Amino acid sequence: MATLEIDRVKKSYGQMDVLKEVSISVGDGDFLVLLGPSGCGKSTLLNMIAGLEDITSGQIRISGDVVNDLSPKDRDIAMVFQSYALYPTMTVRQNIEFGMKIRGVPPEARAKATKAAADMLQMGHLLDRKPSQLSGGQRQRVAMGRAIVREPKLFLFDEPLSNLDAKLRVDMRTEIKRLHQRLGTTIVYVTHDQIEAMTLATRIAVMKDGVVQHFGPPQEVYDRPANTYVARFVGSPAMNIIPASLQVGADGLAEAVVSLPSGEARIAGIPLSAAALKSHAGQKVLLGIRPEHFSLTSGPGLSVHIDVVEPTGPDTLAVFAMGGTEVIARLEPFAAAAGDRLTLAVKQEKVVVFDASSETRLD
């Protein structure tokens, strides 16, 4: 069990900065997800935590100890890889025991630890098979078993579910969550899948181009993304980003004016601090509205012309034009059909406002 502090960590290859002064810290028992597209530096950061890559500058501390120059084996970590990285010529049992053997764990203790891990992951019957005789999900279990027997301070997961098919991915996701709940060990988990991040994390760090865009609890990342990049990356379909102009409403609260094909419309009562409202009143801004924060209304609202509908089963996604861009609303099944003219209401307390040029959130 451990805390992890990443303190102004940089990584450069020659002139190229892969990570630019990243700082993240998580507490004991946290589940940190590093989320971002490929090439954002998340895997590099994970490898640096593991000790598989050098740190150009800054410090990484595990439980307060600086580990910058420690070799992987001395960091008290375990890691699960995307390709599972099982030793192909060894049986499952030998795979799991390899690390313990190197550390000089006596045979009885090894067998006991292996059995405990196998029981926990329900793979006792697989112990004498070779990795090539296992399915993808079974290999993933073995890789996790190999990590568990180390009893590390820190678990590292590098896109562990990316090679699995959709159904299995959901099952294994639950399995990992259960593992975390049972063991309570601090976990760092890298993925590009925002649903995995939302479902698993206690802390998410959204990364892009070697910079942490937003670091916080999942619900905060979802509700109040730090900038339009995070807003678009998290959630499916993504948060709508709609150009609008900001005004002071009659009630003294923020009010946005958006253009619709039928004319201008107003969204009143947007939560915004007095300072932000004062500095941005009368200016262009970007509104962030989640699809589920639109709803049909019989009262006053936004009059829109539905272009396309995509039924998903539990609800229907309706696409329309607003503020000169394409906007998606999540409505009840059969609530809309292509060509309909509808009036939509917006949950104004959920609307987020971004600066038009820097695209960062205004509070």
Number of neighbouring beta carbons within 10 Å of residue 260: 16
| Residue 12 touches another protein, criterion: CB under 8 A | no
Per CB under 8 A, which region of 69-77, 163-171, 196-204, 277-285 contacts another protein?
Answer: 69-77
Residue partners of 297: CB distance under 8 A and separation at least 6 = 343, 344, 345
Residue 31-50 contact track with another protein, rule CB under 8 A, x = bound: ----------------x--x
Beta bridge partners of 128: none
Q: Is 23 helix (H, G, I), strand (E, B) or coil?
A: strand
Beta bridge partners of 267: 256
| Residue 83 touches another protein, criterion: CB under 8 A | yes
Q: Give the nearer residue to another protein in terms of CB position, either 49 or 352.
A: 49
Residue 136-175 contact track with another protein, rule CB under 8 A, x = bound: ----------x-----------x-----------------
Answer for which of 16, 64, 250, 313 binds another protein (CB under 8 A) is: 64
| Residue 102 touches another protein, criterion: CB under 8 A | yes
Q: Give the nearer residue to another protein in terms of CB position, either 86 or 309.
A: 86
Answer for which of 87, 133, 171, 264 binds another protein (CB under 8 A) is: 87
Answer for which of 2, 4, 44, 82 binds another protein (CB under 8 A) is: 82
Q: Is 126 helix (H, G, I), strand (E, B) or coil?
A: helix
Q: Give the nearer residue to another protein in terms of CB position, either 66 or 257.
A: 66
The total number of residues shown for the chain amounts to 363
Q: Where are the beta strands (DSSP E) in 238-298?
A: 240-248, 254-260, 263-270, 284-289, 294-296
Q: CB 172 → another protein: shortest distance, Å?
A: 18
| Residue 328 touches another protein, criterion: CB under 8 A | no
Q: Is 267 helix (H, G, I), strand (E, B) or coil?
A: strand
**Binding-site residue total for another protein (CB under 8 A)?**
34
Q: CB 102 → another protein: shortest distance, Å?
A: 4
Structure tokens, 358: 């820097």
Answer for which of 15, 38, 69, 251 binds another protein (CB under 8 A) is: 69
With beta carbons less than 8 A apart as the criterion, state whether 46 and 192 touch. no
Which amino acid, residue 216? G
Structure tokens, 340: 């309909």
DSSP string covering 289-321? E-GGGEEE-SSS-EEEEEEEEEE-SSSEEEEEE
Buried/exposed code over 297-312 (b: 16+ C-beta within 10 A; e: otherwise): eeeebbebebeebeee
Residue ranges in contact with another protein by CB under 8 A: 47, 50-52, 61, 64-74, 77-79, 81-85, 87-90, 98-99, 102-103, 146, 158
